[in-house]
């Protein structure tokens, strides 16, 4: 984190959120934005049939709502709620804009965040465009590995977030039942396992099976 921004954050108010607690509603015009100090935030939409569709999981050192921060929308485009225990720092958009204008280091920091946001959206779209349900899940798992994965040896990576079958179904647009069947198949093939209720992925096996080597780099 650039020193200019770290110094600015010292005087900002912090708020703690419990899992499932709402942060922003879709269409809400935020008076202040949020910087994720710790935890994971879920951005989601609700379809015409009432089903919840997860758009993104947002982690440490990211901003919400991102479109509002980057001046692309005056309102929140999605619902945001805490996915895990989270601490957020309230940030003024005008102050962030001033830092962008006056600090090359911070401007690069924000540019990198914007590129990361764009790449995450592309990866999610890649997952949704897959015709087979198994491929949708594989692409989502690889996306989560790219963003959150931690190497734990023997070519395995841990996703340090507790995810239910319904959570993954919401990310892929599949039913929970279909998701459960496909995850069970991946487990039988030795591609996924579990450690302390977290997914462990045999990364090379996953990439080789679904041809992901050229799409994602850990």
Q: Indicate the residue among 106, 125, 144 that finishes a domain.
A: 125
Q: Indicate the residue among 125, 142, 165 that finishes a domain.
A: 125
Give the residue from 93, 85, 79, 78 showing the smallest Cα distance to 34. 93
Number of domains in the chain: 2
pLDDT, one tens digit per residue, over 163-182 is 999 999 999 999 999 999 99
**Cβ-contact 92, 99 below 8 angstroms:** no
pLDDT at 216: 47
C-alpha to C-alpha distance for 96 and 111, rounded to whole angstroms: 12
- pTM of this structure: 0.85
Whether 116 and 135 map to the same domain: the answer is no
Cα 46 off chain centre by: 17
Whether 108 and 180 map to the same domain: the answer is no
- In the numeric block, which tokens belong to residue 50? 């009432």
CATH value at residue 170:
1.10.10.10
From residue 146, alpha-carbon distances to 2, 140, 151, 217 in Å are 23, 10, 11, 7
Whether 169 and 88 map to the same domain: the answer is no
**Which of helix, strand or coil describes residue 80?**
strand
Residue 39 sits at φ, ψ, to 5 deg, of: 95, -175
pLDDT at 56: 92
**Does a cis peptide bond (omega within 30 degrees of 0) precede residue 156?**
no
Whether 114 and 12 map to the same domain: the answer is yes
**Cβ-contact 81, 41 below 8 angstroms:** yes
Query: Does residue 20 sit within a domain?
Result: yes
Q: Indicate the residue among 80, 104, 125 that finishes a domain.
A: 125
Strand order in the sheet with 14-17: 14-17, 86-91, 33-38, 63-64
**Cβ-contact 174, 185 below 8 angstroms:** no
Which stretches in the chain have pLDDT values below 50? Answer: 215-216, 218
DSSP 137: H
Domain residue limits at 96: 3-125
**Cβ-contact 170, 53 below 8 angstroms:** yes
C-alpha to C-alpha distance for 216 and 218, rounded to whole angstroms: 7
pLDDT at 218: 45
Give the residue from 4, 30, 26 showing the smallest Cα distance to 15. 30
- In the numeric block, which tokens belong to residue 190? 């030795």
């Amino acid at each position: 984190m650039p020193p200019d921004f770290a110094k600015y954050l010292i005087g900002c108010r912090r708020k703690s959120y419990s899992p499932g607690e709402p942060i922003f509603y879709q269409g809400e015009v935020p008076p202040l934005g949020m910087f994720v100090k710790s935890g994971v935030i879920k951005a989601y939409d609700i379809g015409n049939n009432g089903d919840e569709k997860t758009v993104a999981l947002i982690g440490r050192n990211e901003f919400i709502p991102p479109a509002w921060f980057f001046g692309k929308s005056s309102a929140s485009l999605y619902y945001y709620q805490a996915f895990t225990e989270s601490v957020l720092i309230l940030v003024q958009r005008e102050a962030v804009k001033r830092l962008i204008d006056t600090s090359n280091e911070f401007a690069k920091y924000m540019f990198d965040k914007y590129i990361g946001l764009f790449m995450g959206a592309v990866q999610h779209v890649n997952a949704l465009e897959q015709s087979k349900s198994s491929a949708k899940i594989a692409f989502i798992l690889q996306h989560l590995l790219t963003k959150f994965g931690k190497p734990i040896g023997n070519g395995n990576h841990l996703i340090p977030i507790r995810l239910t079958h319904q959570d993954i179904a919401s990310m892929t647009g599949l039913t929970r039942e279909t998701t459960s069947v496909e995850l069970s198949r991946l487990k039988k093939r030795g591609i996924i396992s579990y450690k302390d209720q977290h997914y462990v992925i045999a990364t090379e096996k996953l990439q080789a099976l679904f041809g992901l080597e050229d799409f994602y780099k850990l």
